[in-house]
Amino acid sequence: MTGGADGPISKILIANRGEVAVRIIRACRELGIKTVQVYSEADARSIPVYMADQAVLIGPPPPTESYLRGDRLVEAALTTGCDAVHPGFGFLSENADFAAAVQAAGLTFVGPEPDSIRAMGLKTAALALVRAAGVPTLPDYEGGDDLGDYQRAAHEIGYPVLVKAVAGGGGRGMRIVRAEAELLDAIQSARRESEKAFADSRVFLEKYIENARHIEFQVFADRHGNTVHLFERECSIQRRHQKIIEETPSSYLNVDLRTQMGTAAVNAAKAVNYVNAGTIEFIVDIDDGRFYFLEMNTRLQVEHPVTEFVTGIDLVKLQIQVAAGEPLPFRQQDLSQRGHALECRVYAEDPANGFLPVTGTILKIVEPRGPGIRVDSGVGSGDTITIHYDPMIAKLVVYDRNRVLAIRRMDAALSQYIILGLTTNLQFVRDVINSPEFQAGNTTTSLIERQFANWQPLNVPISDEALIAATISEIRQRPISSTQADPTADVYSPWLRGDAFRIGG
């Protein structure tokens, strides 16, 4: 055992915001653990601030002055008497120095050891590491300043190649190159984007798989030598190399391939002595069925709820229990997949305009409810989506016995989801899940580009005032349902009988 102050956890600092903060607070409540929510000036009235037992202001709205200030986060944890810090995802969740600072302060970091984060942090180093552990990877090349070397390497790898940011994440710093003439421009622009996003301009080349699926495996390890996987998540439906619809099980995998990939995922995790929740991302070449390690995300994943539905395991509670030093309460052979789960990420963005993020105030939000429906959200009516943070509003997750039923349930849930005040991708994701290719399970990473490049919303946009007025007048004019209106209808309702429950009669 290294670092940290592992042992019982009674109070956790949540070093994040939004929906993941709400998710962690819920898990803590159920475990009887107190929570401290940090917040920037922009989030003073946010839902997690109200939900947590305590809240601490850490700075102005820009993340570099608040949620990325590791020193302030550690200080807030210490002054409020926390014994652990949960980093969520995004922000400092994959920052090894932050994890180390948390441990150095005598606090438990709810996540892997700093060394494991560091080892997987740079994509090229991670590739070399898992390759040595026998996990399949694609040919890659990382050079220095000589661009001629890249041209030679790309020729050797064979076009198409993908230029990727060494420190990449969230789909940024990536360029597909199909011919040598485009290579140098792609490298330059990927470098610029990467420098801006990650303060690291290094890029590398990787063989690009044209007909591909993104299939990842959830892994979990404790401090007692147990490492398991919790099956796959199919995340091929992406725009700008970032996921928007995820599901499990994957319609592509059979028992054999699932076992092979699961074993490779466990081996990749073991190669960095991994502890806690992590995700091994693979790209699968559907032309020959071979799979290749892309990267490891050393944190909780945005799409973790689909795994929770199908395995029946609360991954956030398990993260906290494992961080407290408890062993995993199951072995690999105890785990199984039951039913089918689907997730749609609900973004404040304009799918008809390059998926550009939009900002604004949510006038009204009505979330769908019902059996097998889960909404993970951190915002409500009146909240504002700002330029400072990720434009994800919520995640809509559904569960049912099989894929067909899960898609129907998702369609019905999306039809009930109302967000007024800003443009969202709700109608877009509904069109995607209702498309023949999605329904047939032919989900590849290029589906959106191939089928939805020129997507337009069905209706010409109308103003929110008009929508509100329309909603109100619709409610007023809604006729009494036919069963209520028909006195001969065979419906029993005590409310329809004047004498049903006369009090004191």
Q: By the criterion CB under 5 A, which residues form the site for Mg ion? A: 281
Q: Which residue has the tokens 């915002």?
A: 379
- C-beta of 14: minimal distance to ligand ADP in Å? 10
Residue number, 126 or 228, with CB nearest to ligand ADP: 126
Q: Which residue is nearest to ligand ADP (CB)?
A: 90
Could you give phi then psi for residue 161, rounded to 5 degrees?
-120, 160
Could you give phi then psi for residue 179, rounded to 5 degrees?
-150, 150
Binder to ligand ADP among 80, 188, 242, 263 (CB under 6 A)?
242
Binder to ligand ADP among 36, 190, 212, 316 (CB under 6 A)?
212
Residue number, 88 or 368, with CB nearest to ligand ADP: 88
The entry of ligand ADP, Mg ion, none that residue 283 binds, CB within 5 to 8 Å by partner kind: ligand ADP
Q: Which amino acid is at 500?
A: A
- C-beta of 434: minimal distance to ligand ADP in Å? 22
Q: Residue 310 CB: number of other CB atoms within 10 A?
A: 22
Size of the site for ligand ADP (CB under 6 A): 36
Integer Cα distance of 241 and 245 in angstroms = 12
∠ CA 262-313-113, nearest 5°, is: 65
Q: Does 445 bind ligand ADP (CB under 6 A)?
A: yes
Q: Which residues, 107 to 146, sit near ligand ADP by CB under 6 A?
A: 138
The entry of ligand ADP, Mg ion, none that residue 432 binds, CB within 5 to 8 Å by partner kind: none
Q: Is 451 exposed, middle or buried (0-12, 13-18, 19+ CB in 10 A)?
A: middle
Q: Which residues, 18 to 37, sit near ligand ADP by CB under 6 A?
A: 18-20
Q: What is the crossing angle of helices 147-157 and 183-198, to 10°?
A: 110
- C-beta of 165: minimal distance to ligand ADP in Å? 8
Q: Which amino acid is at 356?
A: L
Integer Cα distance of 75 and 95 in angstroms = 17
Q: Which amino acid is at 189?
A: S
Q: Which residue has the tokens 């020193």?
A: 71
108: alpha, beta or left, given left = phi > 0 and alpha = psi -120 to 50?
beta
Q: How many residues does the chain have?
A: 505
**CB-hemisphere CA count at 13 Å for 301?**
31
- The residue from 191, 202, 299, 409 that is catalytic is 299
Residue number, 6 or 206, with CB nearest to ligand ADP: 206
Q: What is the DSSP letter of 120?
A: H
370: alpha, beta or left, given left = phi > 0 and alpha = psi -120 to 50?
left
Q: Which residue has the tokens 């409500």?
A: 380
Q: Does 444 bind ligand ADP (CB under 6 A)?
A: no
Q: Does 380 bind ligand ADP (CB under 6 A)?
A: no
Binder to ligand ADP among 162, 280, 284, 373 (CB under 6 A)?
162
Q: Which residues contact 461 (CB under 8 A, 6 or more apart)?
A: 423
- C-beta of 235: minimal distance to ligand ADP in Å? 7
**Annotated catalytic residue 369:** no
Binding mask 262-281 for ligand ADP (x = CB under 6 A): -------------------x
Distances (CA, A) of 292 to 103, 207, 210, 212, 402: 34, 11, 13, 11, 28
First to last CA, the chain: 72
- C-beta of 281: minimal distance to Mg ion in Å? 5
The entry of Mg ion, ligand ADP, none that residue 238 binds, CB within 5 to 8 Å by partner kind: ligand ADP
Binder to ligand ADP among 294, 344, 373, 422 (CB under 6 A)?
294
- C-beta of 113: minimal distance to Mg ion in Å? 21
Residue number, 46 or 445, with CB nearest to Mg ion: 445
- C-beta of 395: minimal distance to Mg ion in Å? 17
Integer Cα distance of 368 and 321 in angstroms = 31
The entry of ligand ADP, Mg ion, none that residue 206 binds, CB within 5 to 8 Å by partner kind: ligand ADP
Give the footprint of ligand ADP on this chain (CB under 6 A): 16-20, 88-91, 138, 162, 168-171, 206-209, 212, 214, 238, 241-243, 281, 283, 294-295, 297, 301-303, 390, 392, 445
Catalytic residues: 299
